[in-house]
Structure 1
C-alpha cells in the first residue's frame, strides 16, 4: 500500500479539526505541531485499516453493479430454440 499523503490544504483542514476536537470535546488545547504529529501517527498506524475498508466497500458496490448489469443484459435476451 502506498503511503497516505494529504495536500497541504487537506492537512491544514484536518489539523484544524483535530485541534477543534481536542478543544471542544476534551477541553484541552493542542498545538499545531502536536496535531500534525497525531495526524501522522494515525495515518501511518491506522490509516491502512480505513483505506482497506474503503477498498472493500468500493469492491462490494462494484460487484453489486456488475450483478445488476448482468441481470439487465439477461433481460434483453430474445427467446430462441437454443438454451444455454
Structure 2
C-alpha cells in the first residue's frame, strides 16, 4: 500500500485535533512536531487496517447493490404466458 497522503489543510486540522486531545483528555501539551510524529505513526500502523476494512465494506455494499440490480433486471424479463 502506498503511504497515505492528505491535503495540507486536512493534515493541519488533524494535528490540531491531536493537540486538543492531549490537552483535554490527558492534561498534557504536545508540540506540533510530536503531534505530527504521532499522526505519521498511526497512519503507518493503523492506516492499512482501516483502508482494508473500508474496502471490505465497499465490497459488501457493491455485492448488495448488484444483487438488487439483478433482481430488478430479472423482474423485467418477459415471461411466457403474460
TM-score (norm 1): 0.90
Please, what is the CA RMSD of the aligned residues? 1.1
Runs of 4+ in 1 over 3 A off after TM superposition: none
The equivalent residue for 1:16 is 16
- 1:78 to partner: Cα distance: 1.4
Cα offset, 1:4, TM superposition: 0.7
Name 1:79's counterpart in structure 2. 79
Instruction: Tell me the alpha carbon deviations over residues 9-39 of structure 1, each in whole angstroms, 9 at most, x when there is no partner.
Output: 1110100011111111111111111000000
Q: Which residue of 2 aligns with 1:46?
A: 46
The separation in 1 between residues aligned to 2:58 and 2:16, in whole angstroms, is 28
Secondary structure at the aligned position of 1:46 is classed as helix
Number of aligned residue pairs: 81
Offset at 1:6?
1.1
User: Equivalent residues in 2 for 1:28-43 (5 A)?
Assistant: 28-43=28-43
What 5-or-longer segments of structure 2 have no aligned partner? Answer: none
Provide, for residues 29-72 of structure 1, a one-character-per-residue CA deviation record: whole Å limited to 9, x for no partner: 11111000000011111110001011111111111000000001
Q: Which residue of 2 aligns with 1:65?
A: 65
